[in-house]
Structure 1
Amino acid sequence: MSILIQFELKRYHHLKFGDNESHHHHNSSGCNDYATAIAEYRKSFASKKDVIEQTPDPAVKDMLLHMNEKGIETVFDRFDEQKPQCSFGLAGVCCKNCTMGPCKITKKTPRGVCGADADVIVARNLLRSIAAGVAAHGARGRECMLALKYAAEGKIDIPIEGEAKILASAKAFGIETEDKTITELAALVADILLEDLSRTVPAPHKTLHAFASKERIKTWSDLDIIPISPYHEVFESLHRTSTGNDGYWKNLLKQMLRSGVAFAWSSVLGSSIAMDSLFGLPTRSTSKVNLGALEKGYVNIAVHGHSPVLVSQIVKFGKTDEFISLAKEKGALGIKFYGICCSGLSAMYRYGGVIPLSNAIGAELVLGTGALDLWVADVQDVFPSIMDVAKCFKTTVVTTNDSARLPGAEHFGYDHDHSNMDQTNALARKILLRAIESFADRREIPVHIPKYEAEAEVGFSLEYINKYYGGLNPIVDAIKSGEILGIINLVGCNNPRIIYEKAVVELADILIKNNILILTNGCASFPLMKLGYCSTNALELAGHKLKVFLKDLPPVWHMGECLDNARASAFFKAVAEASGVAIKDMPYAFASPEWSNEKGICAALSFRLLGIDSYHCVYVPTQGSDNVTEFMKNGTKDILGSRMIVNVNHIELANQIVNDLKEQRKALGWD
C-alpha cells in the first residue's frame, strides 16, 4: 500500500495543549485559527525568576544569583527579553524560503505568494529541521569515521582501542575476519560507514540491514522510506523544499520519515560504531559531578561540544608527566578536565578524570565561576554567548573545527577538508600549552564555586549489561514479572521554555518510583548525575520491586553522550529479541521533555520509527496545520506503531507514561 494512501488523515477541529482546548473552523486552504492555542501555550513558558525559584539544582540557583550581582546576562535573560515569541514561528506557518516572501499564513492570508498553504509550509519547515539534525550528527560522525580510517591506514597517530567493537561490527557486516589484522578490519569497517553516510548511487544501506530488526526493515520497506544515505536525503530534503518543488504535505512527511531512518542508522549508529571502534567501549566507573567539583589552583580546562577526536588526545596528553610538570612550573597544582555537553561525556567514560559540569544551557554559568583557564569548543550546542562571559573572566576560548568558529576565539583545529588530521597530536599539545599560559595570566581573577557536588556511575552499555548479568535473561524475566514495569530512554537537550532541568528530574522521580528503569545520555543526563539519580543512593527513591532487582546498580543507567542513543536502541532491540516480542510491542518509551533543537526532534523520530512512543513537554512547531499536527501526534500509529505525546505539565506526562506502559504490559499478558 502506498504511504500516501496510508497517510490519509481526517481533519481535526481542535488542538489540545495539556488540559486546554481551542475550537477552530477550517477553510479549504488548510489554515486553522492557531492564535488562541499559541497564546495558551506561551503562558506555560518559564521565566528566569521561575528558574531561580524552582530549579532542582542549588548550584544553578547560586550561579544565577551570582551572575545577577555581576551584571552578566545568561540564556535565561535573553529568553525573557525575546518574549512574546513569534506566533507564526511557534505555529510553523512562516515561510522565508524565497524572496517573494516572507509569507505568513493567517485566516486573512491562507496561502503564500506561491500558493503554498499551511499544511505545505509547516511540513516544509519541519522537513528542513529534520534535514539539519541528520546533517549535524552525520557531520560530527564523519570526523570519527575519517579518524578511524586514517588511524587504520597509519595516516594519524591515534591508537585503535576498540578491538571488540571492530570484530563485532565486521561480523555483522559479513566481513571475513580470518587472517586479517585489527587495523585491516578497522579500515574495512570505516569504509562501509563512510559509504553508507555519503552514498549517491542507490544501493543497499549496509549498516541498516546489518543492525536493524527484520520486522522494522520490512515496515520501512513497505512504506518506501529506506534511505539512500544521509548525504542524499539531506540533499533531497533541501531540494524538495526549495521554490516550486514538492507542494504535497503528505509527500514531504514521507521524506521526513525517510530522513529519520537515515539519521538513526547512519548519522547516529554509524557514528557510534566509529567512535567505539576507535576509542573503545565505555567502562562502568564513578565520577564526581557538578560545579562543586571545580578546584582552584589547577590548570582548569573545559571541553565543550560533540567531537571527541581531538578532545581525546588533549585529555591523554594532559595526564602525562610532561604537561603536569609544565603546569607546575607555572605554579599550578596540576591539570584538571571538565565536561560540558557530549565531548566531555565521551572522554569521561573512556579515560576518566573528566568531570561533568553542565549541559549547553548551563555553559555560561560554568564560565561565570571564573575557575576555567581554557575552554575548548568544538561543534554543536556551543552558543556564541559564551564569548561574552569568557571575556569577563579572561578565560581563553579555543575553537577546533571549521564548522564552528567564534569571533574573538583562538583557533587550533582541523581545516575544512580535515586534511590536517595528521596534526591531531600537535594541535592537542598546542592547546594544552595555551591552557597553561592562560592559567599564568589569570591569577588575579576571583573565583566563585558553589559547594554542590555528587557522584555518578557512568559507562553502561548493552555489552556491559550482558557481561554483568551473564546474558539478558534476567532483564527479560524482570520485565515479564513486573520487577521492571518498563524501560524508558530519558534524554534530550534543554529548553528555557521549561524550568531548567525540572521536568527531567521530576519525571525521573515518578518513573523510578513506579519501577521503570531509566536509560539516559547527553544533556538530560546532567541533572540526573548532579542530583544523584545515577548513584545507587537513588535506589531509596525507586519502587520496591525495581530496588530489589537492581541491588547494586543505580535506577538510572548512564549510557554516554547524545550519540549514544544508539546504545539505548541496541539495548531495546536485544531485550525485545530475547523476549520474543517485536520492539513496537514492548513496554518501552522515549522521553525528551525539554528538547530544543534539530537533533532533538530527529532523536524522537528515530525511536518512533522503531515503534516506540515519544513523550515531550515542548511542542513541535506544527500547530498552524491540523493535518501535520495530527500526523505527528497520532498519524504514525497505524504505519509505525507509535505516537508523539506532548503535555506542558510534566507531572501529567510522567503519569501518562506509567499508564501507557501498563497498557502495553496488559496487551502482552504480562499483568
Structure 2
Amino acid sequence: MSTSHHHPHNHSHNHPHDYDTVHEHADWHTHDHDAQHPHVHGGVNDYMKAVAEYRKTFASKQDVLEQTPDPAVREMMLRMEQLGHDTVFDRFDQQKPQCSFGLGGVCCKICNMGPCKITPKSPRGVCGADADLIVARNLLRSAAAGVAQHGAHAREILLSLKFIAEGKLNLPLLGEKKMRAVCKAFGIETRGQSARRLAGKLADVLLADLSRALPDDYETIKALAPAERQKVWQDLDILPISAYNEVFDAYHRTGVGTDGDWQSIMKQFLRCGLAFCFTGVVASNIGTDAMFGTGHRATSKVNIGALKKGYVNIAVHGHLPTLVSEIVRIGHTKEFLGLAKKNGAKGIQFYGICCSCLAAMYRYEGVIPLSNAVGAELVLGTGALDLWVADVQDVFPSIMDVAKCFKTTVVTTSDSARLPGAEHYAYDHHHANIGDTEKLARKIVTRAIESFAARRDIPVFIPAYEVTADVGFTAENIAEQFPGYHALARALETGTIRGIVNMVGCSNPRVVYEKATVDVAEELLKNNILIFTNGCASFPLLKLGFCSKAGAAKAGKSLQEFLTAHDLPPVWHMGECIDNTRASTVFGGIAAASGEAIKDMPYAFASPEWSNEKGLDASLAFRLFGIDSYHCVEPPVQGSANVERFLKHDTKATLGAVMNVNTDPKKLAAQIVADIEAQRQKLGWN
C-alpha cells in the first residue's frame, strides 16, 4: 500500500541541527548552551535535513497492519478496507509527504501579510520575525489551545458543581468526603456547612482561578502545590493570574507586531503550563470527584470483542461527565430496560470511546471501554452500535461518514461541538436548560432504542478479542492499601520497585498505532518499573492485559513478586486524562514518605504517541514539577535551535526537568530506565 517503515532516527538528547544565530539569554535561565551541547548545526539547510530524516520514521497504513499489537485493530482495518471506508490511517498516508515547514514549526500564518516560511533564501518573515520567534509563537498558541480545551472541560464541571449548589441541577454530591477534604486545604470552613453550601464555595474558588482578571493569588496553586515548587515558579516569575488571563495574554503576545522576543514567549508558555495543570486538570478532577465520587476498584471487560449483539448498544465519546452520568443512570432503570425489551432487545449496554468511558467505568457498573479516539472509526465499522453520544474533544468529524453507512444515530450534546448530520440534544450556550438534564438523557436513551429497532438489517462484525482489566486506582485507595504510602516508598528505596512512570497521552498515526506505548511499557516492566496510566494511551494497555493481575508476569522478578504479594496488576489504571491529578498526588505522597522532593525521585512521565495541544501541555505540567518527559513524537520546534534547546536542555537548570524525544520506542524506554537509575544513584538508593 505504501513504502515500508524506516528505522527510526535517534533524536534523544543531542540534536545535530541548530541555527547559527544564538540569542542572548535572559537571567532566568542563564548558562552556556554551546559548552554543554556542542552538537549544533549551522543553518536552515541542516534543520530541513533533520526534518526530512524525522519524516522518514512516519508509519504507513501497511506498517500498522503488520505491526499493531492489537489483532482486533488489524481485523477491523481489513474489514473497513473491504467495505471501501477510509480511516485515519488511509488519510495519513494521503497527506504524505507532510510539510517540512509545518513539521519544523517555521510556517507563520498569524497575519495576512504571509503566510511566511523560513528558508535559506528567506530567513525572516515579512514582519521581520525569525525562526526562533515564529517557532516560539506557534508553540505558545498550541499551549494556549490546550489550556482552553482542558479549561473548557473544567468550566463545564465547575458550572455543574455550582448549579447543584444553587439547586438548578438535580444531581447528588457523591464525593462529599473528598470535597470536604479539599475545602480544608483551601481554608474553607467546613464545620456546620451542608454539602451543597460547600460545593458552591469550592466552585467559586476554582472558577475564580479559571477566570480572574485582577492579579491575585492562584488559589489552587497556593493550596495544593508543593512549597518547593511554588518558590521555583515564583523565582521564574511564571505564576499565572488565571487560565483565561494566560490564554488571552498568549494570543495577545503572539499577535502581529506585539511580543518579538522568543524568550518572553517561552516564559508565557510556562505560565500556560501551570494554568493547564491547576485549572484544566486539578480543578476538573476535584469537581468530578466531588459530584460523582472517586469511584472504586473494579474489573471491566475491554476491547471490541466485548460488544454484545442483540442489545441496545450506546457508545459515549468525549470528556464531559454530567450528561453522560444521567444517560447511564436512565439506561439502567427498569422503565427503559422494559422499553428496550419491548422493542426486541435483550437489554441496554453502554460502551466508551476516549475519556467519557474511562471516567464512568469505575463509577458505574458495566460501561465497557472500546477504543481511544484514533480507533473510533474502527469501532463504528463493526455495525454493532445503535447510538453514538458525542460531547467534546477528540471526536473526529470522519465518524459521521462511517455512522451514516451503518445507520448508527449520532447525537451531539454540547453547543461547542457540532457534527454535520448529527442530531443535537444539548445544553444551550447559556446553560439555561441545565435543569432539563434528566429530560435530555431520557430523550437520548429513547432515541437509542428507536435506532435499535430501525437497524435490524445491519450486518454486525465483531472481532473476538476481549480481556478483563482491573481499574479504578485512586490516590485514596492506594494510600489506604499502603498506609501513608510508606510501603510504596520503602519498595522504591530498597529497589524492589526501581521507579514509577506515568504513561498517558493520545495516539498519533506518525508512529505505528499503539505499538510505541506497548513497546515502552514492556521494557519498563521488565526493568521493574511500575506504571500508572490514564486517558487514550491506556487503551492498548487495557486491551493487551497490562492492567490485569495476570499481567504481573510481564514484570521483572522483584516487581512481579511485589505485585503478586499485593494482588495487583503491573499497570495501575487511574481513569481519564484529568486523572493525571491522581498520579501526581501519589507521586507527591510517596516522595513525602521518603522525605524527598518530587523532582529528586525516580519518576518519569511518558506520552509516547502524543498528538494534540493538550498533550503538549500535559508533559509540560509534569516538567514544571521537575519530572522529565519522554516521547516518540517530535514537537514542531526543529526549525529553531534555541526553542528546541529550551525544551530539551535549558529547563533542566530551571525546572529540574526536560523533554526527551526518541522515535524508537525501545531506545526511548532504555533512556527512561537509565535516567531513573541515575536518579536512584543520586539518592543513594543502589
Q: What CA distance in whole angstroms lies between the structure 2 residues aligned with 1:525 and 1:202?
A: 38
SS at match of 1:401: coil
1:207-249: CA deviations, max 9, x gaps?
1111100000000000000000110000000000001100000
Count residues in correspondence. 661
Equivalent of 2:616, from 595, 601, 625?
Answer: 601
Q: Name the counterpart of 2:88.
A: 75
Q: Give 1:475 deviation, angstroms.
A: 0.4
Q: What CA distance in whole angstroms lies between the structure 2 residues aligned with 1:148 and 1:32?
A: 54
Q: Give 1:578 deviation, angstroms.
A: 1.3
Q: Which runs of 5+ in 2 are unaligned?
A: 1-23
Equivalent of 2:414, from 381, 392, 401?
Answer: 401
Q: Name the counterpart of 2:8.
A: none
Q: Give 1:12 deviation, angstroms.
A: 5.7
8 A Cα contact 1:3 1:224, kept in partner:
no
- Counterparts of 1:239-258 in structure 2 under 5 Å? 239-258=252-271
Q: Write the letter of the residue equivalent to 2:323.
A: L
Q: Name the counterpart of 1:351.
A: 364
1:488-540: CA deviations, max 9, x gaps?
00010000000000011111111111111100000000000000000111111
Equivalent of 1:140, from 150, 153, 156?
Answer: 153
Q: What CA distance in whole angstroms lies between the structure 1 residues aligned with 2:525 and 2:573?
A: 14
Q: What CA distance in whole angstroms lies between the structure 2 residues aligned with 1:129 and 1:418?
A: 28
Q: Give 1:267 deviation, angstroms.
A: 1.3
1:274-296: CA deviations, max 9, x gaps?
00001001210000000000011
TM-score, normalised on structure 2? 0.95
Q: What CA distance in whole angstroms lies between the structure 1 residues aligned with 2:34 and 2:152?
A: 39
Q: Write the letter of the residue equivalent to 2:179.
A: I
8 A Cα contact 2:132 2:643, kept in partner:
yes
- Counterparts of 1:425-436 in structure 2 under 5 Å? 425-436=438-449
- Counterparts of 1:226-237 in structure 2 under 5 Å? 226-237=239-250
Q: What CA distance in whole angstroms lies between the structure 2 residues aligned with 1:625 and 1:8?
A: 18
Q: Name the counterpart of 1:668.
A: 683
8 A Cα contact 2:29 2:653, kept in partner:
no
Q: Write the letter of the residue equivalent to 1:291.
A: I
- Counterparts of 1:552-591 in structure 2 under 5 Å? 552-591=567-606
Q: Write the letter of the residue equivalent to 2:386.
A: D
Q: Give 1:24 deviation, angstroms.
A: 3.1
Task: Confirm whether residue 371 of structure 1 aligns to residue 388 of structure 2.
Answer: no
1:425-459: CA deviations, max 9, x gaps?
11011000000000001000000000000000110
- Counterparts of 1:436-451 in structure 2 under 5 Å? 436-451=449-464
Q: Name the counterpart of 1:213.
A: 226
Equivalent of 2:183, from 166, 170, 173?
Answer: 170
Give % identity: 63
Q: Write the letter of the residue equivalent to 1:5.
A: D
Q: Name the counterpart of 1:279.
A: 292
Q: Name the counterpart of 1:196.
A: 209
Task: Confirm whether residue 592 of structure 1 aligns to residue 610 of structure 2.
Answer: no
Q: Name the counterpart of 2:26.
A: 4
Q: Write the letter of the residue equivalent to 1:117.
A: D
Task: Confirm whether residue 25 of structure 1 aligns to residue 25 of structure 2.
Answer: no
Q: Name the counterpart of 1:123.
A: 136
Equivalent of 1:653, from 640, 646, 668?
Answer: 668
Q: Name the counterpart of 1:50.
A: 63
Q: Name the counterpart of 1:638.
A: 653
8 A Cα contact 2:154 2:284, kept in partner:
yes
1:367-389: CA deviations, max 9, x gaps?
00000000000000000000000
Q: Give 1:14 deviation, angstroms.
A: 13
Q: Write the letter of the residue equivalent to 1:613.
A: D
SS at match of 1:350: coil
SS at match of 2:402: helix
Q: Write the letter of the residue equivalent to 1:649.
A: D
Task: Return closer, same or farther for 1:299/1:324 CA change in 2, 3 Å cut-off.
Answer: same
Q: What CA distance in whole angstroms lies between the structure 1 residues aligned with 2:265 and 2:396?
A: 30
Q: Name the counterpart of 2:523.
A: 510
Q: What CA distance in whole angstroms lies between the structure 2 residues aligned with 1:646 and 1:559?
A: 25
8 A Cα contact 2:64 2:512, kept in partner:
yes
Equivalent of 2:102, from 59, 81, 89?
Answer: 89
Task: Confirm whether residue 625 of structure 1 aligns to residue 647 of structure 2.
Answer: no
Task: Confirm whether residue 494 of structure 1 aligns to residue 498 of structure 2.
Answer: no
8 A Cα contact 1:15 1:37, kept in partner:
no
Q: Name the counterpart of 1:392.
A: 405
Q: Give 1:352 deviation, angstroms.
A: 2.0
Task: Return closer, same or farther for 1:385/1:45 CA change in 2, 3 Å cut-off.
Answer: same
1:70-95: CA deviations, max 9, x gaps?
00110000000000000000000000
Q: Give 1:419 deviation, angstroms.
A: 2.0
Q: What CA distance in whole angstroms lies between the structure 2 residues aligned with 1:625 and 1:465?
A: 43
8 A Cα contact 1:303 1:337, kept in partner:
yes
8 A Cα contact 1:38 1:90, kept in partner:
yes
8 A Cα contact 1:93 1:624, kept in partner:
yes
SS at match of 2:192: coil
Q: Give 1:643 deviation, angstroms.
A: 1.1
Q: What CA distance in whole angstroms lies between the structure 2 residues aligned with 1:35 and 1:499?
A: 24
SS at match of 2:426: strand
8 A Cα contact 1:13 1:25, kept in partner:
no
Task: Confirm whether residue 317 of structure 1 aligns to residue 339 of structure 2.
Answer: no
SS at match of 2:65: helix
Q: What CA distance in whole angstroms lies between the structure 2 residues aligned with 1:416 and 1:4?
A: 44
Q: Write the letter of the residue equivalent to 2:74.
A: K
Q: What CA distance in whole angstroms lies between the structure 2 residues aligned with 1:497 and 1:334?
A: 40
Q: Give 1:15 deviation, angstroms.
A: 10
Q: Give 1:6 deviation, angstroms.
A: 2.8
SS at match of 1:487: strand
Equivalent of 1:548, from 561, 584, 587?
Answer: 561
8 A Cα contact 1:484 1:517, kept in partner:
yes
Q: Write the letter of the residue equivalent to 1:263.
A: F
1:597-632: CA deviations, max 9, x gaps?
000000000000000000000000000000000111
SS at match of 2:468: strand
8 A Cα contact 1:622 1:628, kept in partner:
yes
CA RMSD of aligned residues (A): 1.5
Q: Write the letter of the residue equivalent to 1:66.
A: R
8 A Cα contact 1:595 1:616, kept in partner:
yes
Q: Write the letter of the residue equivalent to 1:639.
A: T
Q: What CA distance in whole angstroms lies between the structure 2 residues aligned with 1:255 and 1:80?
A: 35
Query: Which runs of 4 or more aligned residues in structure 1 lie more than 2 Å from their structure 2 counterparts after TM superposition?
Result: 6-16
Q: What CA distance in whole angstroms lies between the structure 2 residues aligned with 1:43 and 1:199?
A: 46
8 A Cα contact 2:292 2:363, kept in partner:
yes
Task: Return closer, same or farther for 1:15/1:58 CA change in 2, 3 Å cut-off.
Answer: farther
Q: What CA distance in whole angstroms lies between the structure 1 residues aligned with 2:419 and 2:554?
A: 43
Task: Return closer, same or farther for 1:414/1:32 CA change in 2, 3 Å cut-off.
Answer: farther
SS at match of 2:425: strand
1:29-52: CA deviations, max 9, x gaps?
xx5631100110011000000001
Q: Give 1:422 deviation, angstroms.
A: 1.2
TM-score, normalised on structure 1? 0.97
Q: Write the letter of the residue equivalent to 1:662.
A: E
Q: Which of 519-528 and 415-424 deviates more? A: 415-424
